[in-house]
Amino acid sequence: MSLLARLLHYFRPEVPSQAAWEKYEPQLREINRLRDAEADVQGDSLEACFAAAALAAERVLGMRPFDVQIIGALAMADGKIAEMQTGEGKTLAATMAVNYLARGHGGVHVLTANDYLATRDAEWMGGIYRSLGLTVGSVHQGLTPAERRAAYACDITYLTANEAGFDYLRDGLALNRDDLVQRPFEAALIDEADSILIDEARIPLVIAGGVAPPHNLAVRMARVVPHLNAGYDFRFDEHRRNVYLTDRGLARAEAFAGCSNLYDPAQLAALTALQNAMHATFLLRRDVDYVIKNGRIELVDEFKGRIAENRRWPAGLQTAIEAKEGLALQQQGSILGSITLQNFISLYPMVCGMTGTAVTQAAEFKEFYGLDVVPIPTNRPMIRVDESDVVFPTRVDKERAVIREIIDVHDKGRPVLVGTASVAESERLSTHLLRAAIPHEVLNARNDEREAQIVARAGQRGAVTISTNMAGRGTDIPLAGDEVCVLGGLRVIGTNRHEARRIDHQLRGRSGRQGDPGSSRFYISLEDDLLQRYGVAEQLPFHSIGGAIDTVQRIIENENLQIRRMLRKYESTIEQQRRILYDRRMELLLGGAPASQLHAIDERWADYLAAVEDLRDGIPWVSLGGKDPFPGFIQEATRLFEEVRLNIEENAEEIPDEPVDRGATWTYMINDQPFGSLTDRLVAGLRRRVRDLLGPRQ
């Protein structure tokens, strides 16, 4: 199959943005007629709600929505995801859809990517809603239960998807109906929809409590690992996603750990602790996968480049990293409840959303959420110039070229935004710029509290801004006057390509907003993760790699979709069981059941979750034998759940009438890999798929 044929095979036609205009133009004309009458618009029809909100925006904020913003809002009110380019005013557009949904659905949650955006947008747009007779609130970390309850009682509530999900889990553990903070879900409008529904969707929210097991094994194994030698005592798989002991390594580990046989069932805890210590030491990198801040491990969100609030790795891996870094070991407790964002979002009867990049994931939005993507035309023609990638043999060569271009662009007075893949990379570039006496700002997980002010100034004359990823930043980069426009506008430089095209598009999209001039270019090297992990550098001649990246990304996106389908299949049964138990518990709670019935459900469910985790750990071993592990997993999970239900009914009186501490909340950093080696093998298969499709290197 030729390269062109392969590309066409994986190319999914994108819906032309003109289609949105044609579909919604009749409603647009009526909305404009009503608002141009400059009178108070009455009624709850869609057109009346939109016109009233548009008029309120003019009166309260002095902002008159563009026609394309109204079109985007109409798509959202129609239960779709509106793809609106960066700088096109999604926040204002949403107010028209929110006004309509709040009146027709009894309340709306506007779910966004971080607390800053939730608080900012509630305050910024709040005047519009209040002038229309609606109440508006926001939920963020640090609020008391009473404050949360009041915010959820509003017609419109701005908050992160994580906060909404955690409150749902807390309500599911409430011991008194007065402890509940949420009311029944109605409608959700999701900002940064691709980030929440795709990137974050597989990462479970977790609520935990009780006493954690002792950590002495983690510290002990952290001392063993430095004695092991790569290539002799342990080896990596072909793309460094897993690490495993050799026979010699096993013997050395047993000697240093003082264990006779780590594969003895009685030594399972010690073996697990050793595996976690090896993973923490050899696969997870400080200033790439995590940073140390205020004496604690803080995970870096690979899609946004900022600290992932309250996120941990599962089981003993988090503890192993703390032991590796010599930090105080944090108590984790046992899991009392969890839910993925994908399953949480499905609790809303009505869902819509908006983002700057959605079309490339349109098939997944439709399959998993039943949501169509509608591309919205820009208000002014987009004139940004996106230049071809430049490829270098090594990372050092690439970074030298990036520094040369930054200096050249800065000398001309143009602002430049550099998107990097990690904290370490951003700080390497910063060091080079300091040596060259180039003033600049660095936005990464170490200082993301200054995000808004750094991004807002990135369009000034001569500004140099280095940022770890720009996905979900939510802040525009306005150009500072005509002088910057004459110079060519914002120059965007990407130092890596990502697996998903939309992440690259989000970086490019920071330039060229609202018809501004601008340009972008990606610098890549044969040592970059994307090319190394999937063997691209081995399969293609050097001169053709740049042109093949887009094809590779399409292949990877499609194969990752297959992986997520498989994982969703495993999760669906557990989620059905969780809902059965949740509904039963809520029925008992609202009916005034004593705490000991409620405790029974919580304790037995926690035991069940631990048992299911053990089942998942065994999946790779079953698949190694050539068997499909799914039927056995479902059969055993179903048997365990029936035992839980029976146990609750028969032994409720055995549960002590005293609640455990249940204040800890976090998300698990699994990145579509809850089954460990199974997914590792799927990635290996994907690597082979890329090789097959690209053909042998010439």
Per-residue burial over 30-40, b if 16 or more Cβ lie within 10 Å, else e, is bbbebbeeeee
CA 83 to chain centre: 18
Q: Which helix (H) or strand (E) holds 110?
A: strand 108-112
pLDDT at 682: 45
Largest distance between two CA atoms of the chain:
86
Which is more confident, 597 or 471?
597
Q: What is the pLDDT of residue 622?
A: 54
Task: Specify whether the CB–CB gap between 164 and 110 falls below 8 A.
Answer: no
**Of 281, 297, 271, 295, residue with least CA distance to 223:** 281
Q: What is the pLDDT of residue 7?
A: 34
Name the architecture of domain 575-662.
Answer: Orthogonal Bundle (1.10)
* Predicted confidence (pLDDT) at residue 131 exceeds the cutoff of 60: yes
* pLDDT tens, position by position, 280-306: 998 888 888 888 988 888 887 766 666
DSSP string covering 41-58: --SSSHHHHHHHHHHHHH
What pLDDT is attached to residue 86? 84
Q: Model confidence at 393, in pLDDT bands (50, 70, 90)?
A: very high
Q: Which has the closest alpha carbon to 140: 290, 310, 346? A: 310
* CA 557/CA 91 separation, integer angstroms: 28
* pLDDT tens per residue, range 207-217: 877 555 556 88
Would you say residue 238 has pLDDT above 80? no
Q: Where in the chain is the domain with CATH 3.40.50.300?
A: 16-207+341-375, 385-527
**Residue 399 neighbours by CB distance under 10 Å:** 19
Residue 9, pLDDT > 80, answer no
Q: Tell me what the mean pLDDT of segment 464-490 comes to.
A: 83
Q: What is the average pLDDT value for the chain, to the nearest integer? A: 83
Q: How confident is the model at residue 118 (pLDDT cuts 50, 70, 90)?
A: very high
- Strands 204-209 and 234-236 turn out to be unpaired
Q: 104 φ, ψ to 5°?
A: -95, -15
Q: In which band, very low, low, confident or very high, does the pLDDT at 675 lie, cut at 50, 70 and 90?
A: very low
Pick from 543, 523, 531: which is nearest to 400 by CA?
523
Express each pLDDT in 427-460 by its tens digit.
999 999 999 999 999 987 676 667 778 888 899 9
- pLDDT at site 14: 40
Helix 3-10, helix 545-590: angle, nearest 10: 20
CATH 3.90.1440.10 maps onto the chain at 216-332
pLDDT above 70 covers a percentage of the chain that reads: 84
The candidate with the shortest Cα–Cα distance to 595, out of 175, 177, 179, is: 175
Q: What is the pLDDT of residues 30-55, one digit of tens each?
A: 999 998 886 667 778 999 999 999 99
pLDDT for res 681 = 42
Mean pLDDT of 242-271: 83
CB-CB contact of 329 with 322 (8 Å): yes
- CATH code given to domain 16-207+341-375: 3.40.50.300
The span from the CA of 324 to the CA of 403, in Å, is 34
Tokens standing for residue 427: 């700080």
What is the per-residue DSSP string for 493-542? EES---SSHHHHHHHHTTSSGGG--EEEEEEEETTSHHHHHTTHHHHS-G
Q: With 80 as the cut, is the pLDDT of residue 235 above it?
A: yes
User: Is 80 exceeded by the pLDDT of residue 87?
Assistant: yes
Q: DSSP characters for 590-651?
A: HTT--HHHHHHHHHHHHHHHHHHHHHHHHHHHHHHTT--HHHHHHHHHHHHHHHHHHHHHHH
pLDDT at 525 over 70: yes
What average pLDDT does the segment 583-605 reach? 87
When pLDDT is averaged across residues 138-143 and rounded to a whole number, the result is: 89
Measured distance CA(66)–CA(541) in Å, rounded: 48
454 contacts: CB under 8 Å, gap ≥ 6: 441, 443, 465, 467
Q: What are phi and psi of 379, to 5 degrees?
A: -65, -40
Q: Does domain 385-527 bear CATH number 3.40.50.300?
A: yes
Question: Which CATH number, 3.40.50.720, 3.50.50.60, 3.40.50.11890, 3.90.1440.10, labels domain 216-332?
Answer: 3.90.1440.10
Is the pLDDT at 649 greater than 90, yes or no?
no
Where exactly does CATH 1.10.3060.10 map onto the chain? 575-662
Q: Tell me the whole-structure pTM to 2 decimals.
A: 0.82
